[in-house]
Amino acid sequence: MPHGSAFPARYAVFGHPIGHSLSPAIHRMFGEQCGIALDYVAIDATPAAFADAVRHFLAGGHGANVSLPHKAAACALADERSAAASRAGSANVLTRLPAGRLAAHNTDGSGLVRDLTGRQHCPLHGRRVLLLGAGGAARGVAWDLLDAGVDQLTIVNRTADSAVALAGALGATRARARHWQDLAGLGSFDLIVHATSAGVLGQPLPLPPGLANPQTIGYDLSYGRAAQSFLDWARGAGAKAACDGLGMLVEQAADAFALWHGRRPDTDPVYAQLRGSAA
Ligand code: ATR
């Protein structure tokens, strides 16, 4: 409860659509675990209404998570940006500062790396990684993959120019862009990260089987139905494991919780509960 207030601190997740968001349940479980009273709701805002809606909420609320399609707008409207938000040009966390100022953070990349290296037993140092997509979701994780020691990050996108732009922005010789039509000649990868919105849109994603070998981990940044088709492809292509983004969701939420409450919760029981109820 905020100091001097009879009411718990207020938080929200903004998205469009947002009805099935797991974020309210995750933050409530974190709060219970840490003995922190909080009020966390899901708010549906259209892109046109987002900036006013989030500013209105944060006039009284303490923080907001931001989901699709508002992450770039959240980064743009903030008064201050963390390094992770600045380089990605997108934010999944907004925090109210004194005098009504807003700070933007991005915890998606750190959430992915923590889920991969911890829960999924997928070390990143020295690995060959294929990143499919070059939009907001891909930008949210690309720098963190390099920071985690990935040896070669190959970015492939339907629109090649965006992949080239992202590789250029990363500014590392370990990052390179390749054409989608050349995928079949790239050999196999240790890790394939699916960051396009094809699954969310229910569109097919043509991928050659040779990208995976028996040691490959396929990871979809989405979860639920949106991840299904990529996970099916990864299993069919002979990958060692196919993981959805549920673990990343819980880890990025824990990093947001730590920013707001100064304490990182234990994510394993929360992940287990969500995985159990999703099974
Ligand atoms: P997000 O924030 O979810 O990443 P985005 O910034 O609009 O959303 O980016 C969507 C990504 O999915 C892009 O890389 C997009 O490719 P383009 O740059 O060519 O548009 C990719 N994408 C969307 N639908 C796709 C499809 N059917 N096949 C392949 N890539 C697709």
Q: Which of 76, 39, 84 shows the shortest CA–CA distance to 55?
A: 76
**DSSP-assigned letter for residue 210:** G
Assign residue 152 the CATH number of its domain.
3.40.50.720
174 in a structural domain: yes
Query: What average pLDDT does the segment 120-139 reach?
Result: 97
**Gyration radius of the chain over CA positions:** 19
How close is the Cα of 134 to the center of ligand 1, in Å?
7
Cα gap 120→240, rounded to integer Å? 11
Cα gap 178→163, rounded to integer Å? 7
Question: Do 239 and 141 belong together in one domain?
Answer: yes
Mean pLDDT of all residues belonging to the chain? 96
Structure tokens given for 89: 């040009």
100 in a structural domain: yes
Ligand 1: residue of 197, 220, 223, 248 to mutate (most ligand atoms within 8 A of CB) is: 197
**When comparing pLDDT for 277 and 223, which is higher?**
223
For residue 209, is the peptide bond before it cis, meaning its omega torsion is within 30 degrees of 0? no
Give tens-digit pLDDT for 187-244.
999 999 999 999 999 999 999 989 999 999 999 999 999 999 999 999 999 999 999 9
Are the C-beta atoms of residues 110 and 140 closer than 8 Å to each other? no
Question: Do 237 and 274 belong together in one domain?
Answer: no
Assign residue 73 the CATH number of its domain.
3.40.50.10860
| Closest protein CA for atom 16 of ligand 1 | 158
Question: Do 116 and 240 belong together in one domain?
Answer: yes
| Closest protein CA for atom 29 of ligand 1 | 158
Query: What average pLDDT does the segment 152-159 reach?
Result: 98
Cα gap 240→224, rounded to integer Å? 20
177 in a structural domain: yes
pLDDT for residue 6: 64
148 in a structural domain: yes
Question: Do 138 and 74 belong together in one domain?
Answer: no
pLDDT for residue 279: 47
What's the number of domains the chain is made of?
A: 2
Q: Give the three-state DSSP class for 201.
A: helix
pLDDT for residue 4: 52
Are the C-beta atoms of residues 167 and 139 closer than 8 Å to each other? no
pTM over 0.85: yes
- Listed in sequence order, the residues at least 6 apart from 51 whose beta carbon sits closer than 8 Å to its beta carbon are 73, 77
Give tens-digit pLDDT for 6-21.
678 999 999 999 988 9
254 in a structural domain: yes
Question: Do 17 and 123 belong together in one domain?
Answer: no
Question: Do 273 and 218 belong together in one domain?
Answer: no
Cα gap 193→28, rounded to integer Å? 29
Question: Do 172 and 62 belong together in one domain?
Answer: no
Question: Do 114 and 240 belong together in one domain?
Answer: yes
Host domain of residue 151? 109-244
Give residues (CB < 6 A) around ligand 1.
Answer: 68, 133-138, 157-159, 162, 196-198, 201, 203, 205
Catalytically active residues, by annotation: 71
pLDDT band at 101 (very low <50, low <70, confident <90, very high): very high
Question: Do 228 and 121 belong together in one domain?
Answer: yes
Is the pLDDT at 278 greater than 80? The verdict is: no
Query: What average pLDDT does the segment 36-65 reach?
Result: 97
Query: What average pLDDT does the segment 161-181 reach?
Result: 97
Question: Do 130 and 90 belong together in one domain?
Answer: no
How close is the Cα of 133 to the center of ligand 1, in Å?
6
Query: What average pLDDT does the segment 126-132 reach?
Result: 98
